[in-house]
Amino acid sequence: MSKWPTHNLRNLALVGHRGVGKTSLTEAMLNAGGAITQLGSVDDGTTVTDNTPEEQERNISVSSSLAYCERGACKLNLVDTPGYSEFYVEALYGLWVTDTALLVMDAASGVEVHTIKMYEAAREAGKGLIGIVNKLDGERADFAAALASMNESLRDCEAVGVQLPIGSGASFAGVVDLLSGKAYGAGGEMDVPADMADEVAEGREMLIDAVAATDDDLTMEYLEEGELTAVQLASGLKAAIAAGTLVPVLCTAATGGIGVEQLMDFVVGSAPSPAEVAPRMGVAPGSEEEVECPASADSPTVAIIFRTLSDEYVGQISVLRVISGSVSPDTELYNPRTGQRERMSGLSLVQGASTENTTDLAAGDLGSVMRLQDTSTGDTLAEQKNQLVIARPSKPDSMYAAAATAATRADSDKLSDALARLAIEDMAFEYGRQAETGQLLIKGMGPLHLDVVLARLQRQFEVAVTLSEPRVPYRETVKKSARVQGRHKKQTGGRGQFGDVWIQVEPMARGGGFEFADAVRGGSVPSNYIQAVEKGVQEGLEKGQLAGYPVVDVKVTLDDGSSHPVDSSDMAFKMAGAIAMRAGMEAAGPVLLEPIMIVSVTGPEDLMGDIMSDMNGKRGRIMGTEQVGSMQVIKGMVPQAELGRYAADLRSISQGRASYELEFSHYDEVPSHMAEKIVAEAQAAKDEEED
């Protein structure tokens, strides 16, 4: 039997904006729980969860890292998530395997952009939330203002204090627990300051009002008795957290060790165990019917992989959560995605970069296994007789792209395998060769993300890569109809080549792609050559006549032609089709098309004028704005050609207070004066290649 049965587990994701102290708070909890004997420092690169060279060099979290400690009989699984929006997908996967989100805020700043993003993600994922106002020992710390910013800035949030700070800034000395009425400082229990009596009484009344309002029976009890018992208050608060109807808020100063133990006691008593939240739902492959996966030992075993690591000594390490059933080292599970069996060898508990062998993991627990053969982040593992798949997090597209070039031939030989390995480990990283330009593109969530990718390529795989701005994937189309001939005739002394076709080229609606129609009458083009003509036309579409970009949104109708009984062949008619297509492009008014992106920018209201002005200056069209708490979201359509430096531009405009997302929308015609320049550059590049 597991040392920590399901009801003694608490799975917590620390989420929030960068710089609020999530990693320091994780470190302080590990220290208070006896998992470590000395506090590490983010600045010194000595914390348990910021354990990669990329994190230690930059003093930031770039991935979700698992650690654990004990409090009483409970095991607290702590997932420290990144606070930079460029590593948002990592934070989503951290949320995915936990049950409660600890929403950490800076006492001086309150709710910030990424705070809102992670709050919304937690709500969408059905997680309970506990607010933590950290750094109360810092300058300009203001617990009341931070608490108020939650109710003002977070959608459908009812935040209420369950603690009050004793002092603030340099005078922050401890916290008053409104549930017990006791006060605690860095050294343990202390007296409640006499001058806080009224504030404590008012705070407790507000807490009881808020808890009572979440349940009809508690409301009646409160109205009749004018009070709730300690048991009623505690149980009502726990139910409200699990249901997401209330966000209790606590006080901490992580680096000073104040409020940390009280936070741990609170999550033990009030955060739900895996058995107390709604069961995860799985779907059998090939089915749409959802099946409950309750967190119990007697249920079929199901586990999910939320992180994949490469270790130079042991190979691949897969960090997992047991959804239902239990896992031991001899457990054999099945991956429905790959159809492969996987043995749970090297089953371990995870403490940052360290692992410790364990004999089993109960339902709801988190740990790791080694050397899975064909399983990656996001996969589900289940018993073969009970195959199920748990839906992985829905992530935004990775739209920030750069063209990658290997530094040497040796690097080039290793690059493909290295990129494939990284894509298994980093769910926000994508790569591929772009058909329109031929460039190898690597994609991430922003320039910092790709900077980390380059560092990992060099460190893990010894592959050096240089990045450049990718060429815009323009396309070409036509604006009018034209009927043209394509004739291929060649006599070489023996059997010749003859193919002759007439085609009608006409524009289609944007996004229409390509359509080929056979309108030949009377057999002027024998039916056995029609397919060859279509292939030739499609070859002619691969490179347009303006700048060599693929041709789209055209309809081609083959309506006439002629053949020779001896010299005609598939090859001859394929050549004729390609010749006709090139002629048709020239005659039908060719134009350049450019990709248009939907840009969504989230930021404070005072920045909206500057952001809109910048967007307009990038040939953008504002689609509208939306209020999200105290933040505003601007949506606009902007040509991709204008967005190469948008991450840097927005950071400069907003001093880092705004974030953005990109989504492809459609292709549209390039303005004529810009098209002329693009065509000239393409011709110059072509001439240079020929020289």
pLDDT in tens, 170-179: 999 999 999 9
Q: What number is the average pLDDT over the span 554-573?
A: 94
Using one digit for the tens of pLDDT, what is the confidence trace for 18-67? 999 999 999 999 999 999 999 999 999 999 999 999 999 999 999 999 99
Contact 44, 115 (CB under 8 A): no
- Look up the pTM and report it: 0.86
Spell out the alpha helix ranges (H) of 481-632: 530-541, 570-587, 608-617
Among 355-359, 542-546, 569-573, the range scoring the smallest mean pLDDT is 542-546
In this predicted model, what pLDDT tens digit does every residue of 600-633 receive, in sequence order?
998 888 899 999 999 999 999 999 999 877 788 9
The Cα 128–Cα 606 span in angstroms is 31
State the average pLDDT over residues 421-448. 91
Q: How confident is the model at residue 191 (pLDDT cuts 50, 70, 90)?
A: very high
Segment among 189-198, 476-485, 650-659 with least mean pLDDT: 650-659
In whole angstroms, give the CA distance from residue 117 to residue 660.
11
Q: Is the pLDDT of residue 1 over 60?
A: no
For position 691, what pLDDT does the model report?
Answer: 58
Q: Which domains, ranges and CATH numbers included, belong to the chain?
A: 6-192+246-276 (3.40.50.300), 280-390 (2.40.30.10), 400-468 (3.30.70.870), 476-588 (3.30.230.10), 593-673 (3.30.70.240)
What number is the average pLDDT over the span 91-114? 96
Q: Which segments of 64-179 does DSSP mark as H helices, in order?
A: 88-96, 113-124, 143-153
pLDDT band at 491 (very low <50, low <70, confident <90, very high): confident
- Residue 422 predicted with pLDDT over 90: yes
Report d(CA 532, CA 580) in Å as an integer: 13
For strands 290-293 and 280-283, give the pairing: antiparallel
Report CA dihedral (319, 323, 328, 334) to the nearest 10 degrees. -80
Q: What is the pLDDT of residue 620?
A: 95
CA distance 555 to 602: 41
Q: What is the pLDDT of residue 628?
A: 78
Task: Please determine, for residue 512, whether its predicted confidence score (pLDDT) is greater than 60.
Answer: yes
Q: Which pLDDT does position 686 carry in this prediction? A: 74
For strands 159-161 and 247-251, give the pairing.
parallel
pLDDT of residue 229: 87
| In the predicted structure, residue 424 carries a pLDDT above the cut 80 | yes
The per-residue pLDDT for 681 is: 87
Q: How confident is the model at residue 96 (pLDDT cuts 50, 70, 90)?
A: very high
pLDDT of 687 over the 90 cut = no
Q: What is the pLDDT of residue 493?
A: 66
